[in-house]
Amino acid sequence: MSLVRSSLLVGLGAGASRILGFARDVLFAQALGAGPVADAFLAAFRLPNLVRRVVGEGGLNPALIPALGRMEPEEAAPFAGDVMSVFALAVTGLTGLVIFAAGLVSFLLAPGLSSEDTLGLVALYTRLGFPSVIGVTLASIGAALLNWHRRFTAATMAPLVVNSALIAMLIALPLIGDVPLRTKAAWLAVAATLAGLVQLAIVALALTKGEPRPIRFRKPRWTPALRGILLAVFPALVASGAVQLFILAATQVASFWPSGVSWLYYAERVMQLPLGLMGALGASVLLPELALRHRAGEHEAIIAAQNKAMELALLLALPAATALAILAHPIASVLFERGAFSPQDADGTAAVLVGLSAALPLAALSKVLSQTLFARGSLRGTLIATLAGLVATFVAAWGLGRLFGISGIALGVAVGCATHVAMLAFLLAIVGLWRPDRALGLRIVKIALASLVLALGLFLAMKALPEPGLFALALLCVGGFVLYAVAALMLGAVTRDEIAQLMRKS
């Protein structure tokens, strides 16, 4: 399968997953609102969802793919079985530990939820929902092995199961009758765990079929390669989940604001629609290509691919950030304001979304730049960059939150992303792989001008439609996309030849 066709398949799968996830969160808002129960459930859901997003977007690939790339096919299959077996034991043990220490985990996730009753709910929902990590993690290891053999279909489609199961549960709950909020949240946590196990079953079935067979089970052998994988996994997961960790740090700060956890969660889910696409493409498609280039010593090709990927990232992320900032309030109101979700909650979510929109282009760039370091196996450097961004996020979110309220916490995430990008660029410069060219700079200027045209168009449209409903919001989004596409073509931010090349097989 060609790189472009692989990208399209992964992109479609990631897009479908994001759309289902977004539909799930709209139903979350309707069912749970943004009060104490919602804060408790979403705080508990944050940790398994963090794991699901990191590993589901290829967070284990930076540790697995370079190691597999150094092996012959006959030794890669049993090695993959060793990895799966050892991780099954490790993640099961971790789940048991989290369940046992759920009270302490709850306090660390949301220290601002000082009420014993609310923290007790966080602990309950953590115990019910965290076992989903077993299925999701093992399924993601299997997906990484399938991706390595260019078998993208099952790996791309299996994650859709989790969101589909939660949506089904959210639809079914009102049919049962008047279910208390606490009970609704408990059933949702159980549904997440069951869905994770179904996801694992789908990937496991794909692993047993097709050629070449990417995995063969045996009694695990403690080899240097296996030891290297285990040592690399933690920094790989931390570095791959950088943006999610920044959001987690912001969540800890937001827990000191009433409904802050919920507002941040719903706004961040909107931001993740475009960002998740970049993450999935980077880890599943760009990383294997860069790993092969690095193995062949093609440094100039790596730099060219990195610059082109940054152009693509900003071509998508900058207009998305512009639209989210301008349409923040109608998005929050139209999508979430129903059921238990009040107009005040819509105002709070919109304020957070404006702040997070500033982080979106920076987060997209970090997704690209980190892939080059992953391909080199430079996990220590990416870990340092992530920790620097995490500290910057926490400090900035706390300081800006005291100055500007909940929107300041969101701006703290943007500060963390900016710090992360700067550190990644510095690390790439040290190894001679950071060389932005004139073409990249010129393309960024053109993308910024096209985004400015989009901003002016949306601003004028909002004057004519101050309180758009669902149809008007959809019209604004479609019209904004068309306006940006035309402006991008006219200004040269993207060319017809590039569009035609993208549509052809590579």
- Segment of 35-44, 170-179, 212-221, 350-359 carrying the highest mean pLDDT: 350-359
Asked whether residue 303 falls in the same domain as residue 425, the answer is yes
Least reliable range by pLDDT among 117-131, 210-224, 279-293, 353-367: 279-293
How distant is the alpha carbon of residue 337 from its chain centre? 24
- Segment of 60-69, 84-93, 245-254 carrying the highest mean pLDDT: 245-254
Mean pLDDT of 488-498: 81
Asked whether residue 479 falls in the same domain as residue 342, the answer is no
- Looking at the predicted structure, is the pLDDT value of residue 48 above 50? yes
Name the domain boundary from 399, 414, 436.
436
Residue with more model confidence, 51 or 125 = 125
Asked whether residue 162 falls in the same domain as residue 19, the answer is yes
Asked whether residue 219 falls in the same domain as residue 171, the answer is yes
Asked whether residue 443 falls in the same domain as residue 319, the answer is no
Name the domain boundary from 436, 462, 484.
436
pLDDT in tens, 259-289: 889 999 999 988 887 776 655 554 445 555 6
Say how far apart CA 25 and CA 271 lie, in whole Å: 12
Domains held by the chain: number: 2
Residue 4: per-residue pLDDT: 47
pLDDT in tens, 359-413: 999 998 888 888 777 777 677 788 899 999 999 999 999 999 999 999 999 999 9
Q: Which residues contact 270 (CB under 8 A, 6 or more apart)?
A: 22, 324, 331, 332, 335, 353, 356
Mean pLDDT of 27-53: 83
Mean pLDDT of 1-21: 58
Name the domain boundary from 387, 407, 436.
436
Asked whether residue 307 falls in the same domain as residue 208, the answer is yes
Say how far apart CA 404 and CA 397 lie, in whole Å: 10
Asked whether residue 464 falls in the same domain as residue 431, the answer is no
Least reliable range by pLDDT among 126-130, 185-189, 198-202: 198-202
* Per-residue three-class SS string for 34-96: CCHHHHHHHHHHHHHHHHHHHHHCCCCHHHHHHHHHCCCHHHHHHHHHHHHHHHHHHHHHHHH
DSSP class of 284: I
Residue 488: per-residue pLDDT: 92
Residue 505: per-residue pLDDT: 40
Q: Which residues contact 245 (CB under 8 A, 6 or more apart)?
A: 50, 238, 386, 389, 390
Residue 290: per-residue pLDDT: 63
- Looking at the predicted structure, is the pLDDT value of residue 187 above 60? yes
Asked whether residue 370 falls in the same domain as residue 446, the answer is no
Asked whether residue 472 falls in the same domain as residue 357, the answer is no
pTM across the whole model: 0.78
Asked whether residue 428 falls in the same domain as residue 476, the answer is no
Return the half-sphere exposure (C-beta side, CA atoms, 13 A cut-off) of residue 477: 15
Asked whether residue 167 falls in the same domain as residue 297, the answer is yes
* Whether the Cβ atoms of residue 299 and residue 308 lie closer than 8 Å to each other: no
Residue 118: per-residue pLDDT: 82
- Segment of 55-69, 249-263, 286-300 carrying the highest mean pLDDT: 249-263
- Looking at the predicted structure, is the pLDDT value of residue 10 above 90? no
Say how far apart CA 416 and CA 53 lie, in whole Å: 19
- Percent pLDDT > 70 in the chain is 79
Task: Read off the tokens for 114.
Answer: 């000082």
- Looking at the predicted structure, is the pLDDT value of residue 476 above 70? yes
Asked whether residue 346 falls in the same domain as residue 473, the answer is no
Structural domain harbouring 458? 437-506
Confidence of residue 203 (pLDDT cuts 50, 70, 90): confident
- Percent pLDDT > 90 in the chain is 28
Phi-psi region for residue 468, left (φ > 0), alpha (ψ -120 to 50) or beta? beta
Confidence of residue 1 (pLDDT cuts 50, 70, 90): very low
